[in-house]
């Protein structure tokens, strides 16, 4: 899957956070771009709360402002906000993954996100 965020065309990379298996989403510079392979954005955040396997907590503050719209436009998440999880001074927005995203996750090799929290 590909997504465009802040004018960067990116590959959507899925993983799981190691401590609770919540979904992790990174945007990595797409092939044949000047920023190929570079981290464009860490789209998800691990709140510590165990989420349903079809849900993902999205980091929508600071440099990630607008990322939920980019993920909706790319067909990664559904547009309806499910709920929010307070994380100190900000709140993570929880969305459902699309069927297409869930299929991509099943096709990718198992991996874990190195970070347990953002």
Per-residue pLDDT of 32-43, as tens digits, reads: 999 999 999 999
**DSSP-assigned beta bridge partners for residue 11:** 2, 28
Q: Is residue 96 part of a domain?
A: yes
Asked whether residue 117 is assigned to any structural domain, the reply reads: no
60-95 pLDDT tens trace: 999 999 999 999 999 999 999 999 999 889 999 999
Give the C-alpha separation, 30 to 94, whole Å: 25
118 within a domain of the structure (yes/no): no
Domain count, the chain: 1
Mean pLDDT of the chain: 92
pLDDT at residue 115 in the model: 43
Q: Which residue range is the domain that position 22 belongs to?
A: 2-110
Scanning the chain, the segments in alpha helix (DSSP H) are 67-73, 99-107
Question: Hey, which residues does 5 pair with through a beta bridge?
Answer: 8
Q: Is residue 45 domain-resident?
A: yes
Residue 115 domain-assigned? no
Expressed in angstroms, the distance from the first to the final Cα of the chain is 23
- Give yes or no for residue 116 having a pLDDT over 50: no
Cβ(71)–Cβ(79) below 8 Å: no
Tell me whether residue 57 is in a domain: yes
Flag whether 54 is in a domain.
Answer: yes
In a domain, 46, yes or no: yes
């Amino acid at each position: 899957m590909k997504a465009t965020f802040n004018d960067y065309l990116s590959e959507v990379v899925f993983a799981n956070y190691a401590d609770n298996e919540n979904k992790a989403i990174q945007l990595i510079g797409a092939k044949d771009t000047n920023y190929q392979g570079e981290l464009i954005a860490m789209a998800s955040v691990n709140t510590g709360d165990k989420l349903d396997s079809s849900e993902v907590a999205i980091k929508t503050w600071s440099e990630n402002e607008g990322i939920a719209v980019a993920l909706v436009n790319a067909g990664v998440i559904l547009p309806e906000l499910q709920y929010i999880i307070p994380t100190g001074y900000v709140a993570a927005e929880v969305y459902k993954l699309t069927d297409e995203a869930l299929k991509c996750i099943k096709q990718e090799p198992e991996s874990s996100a190195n970070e347990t929290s953002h």
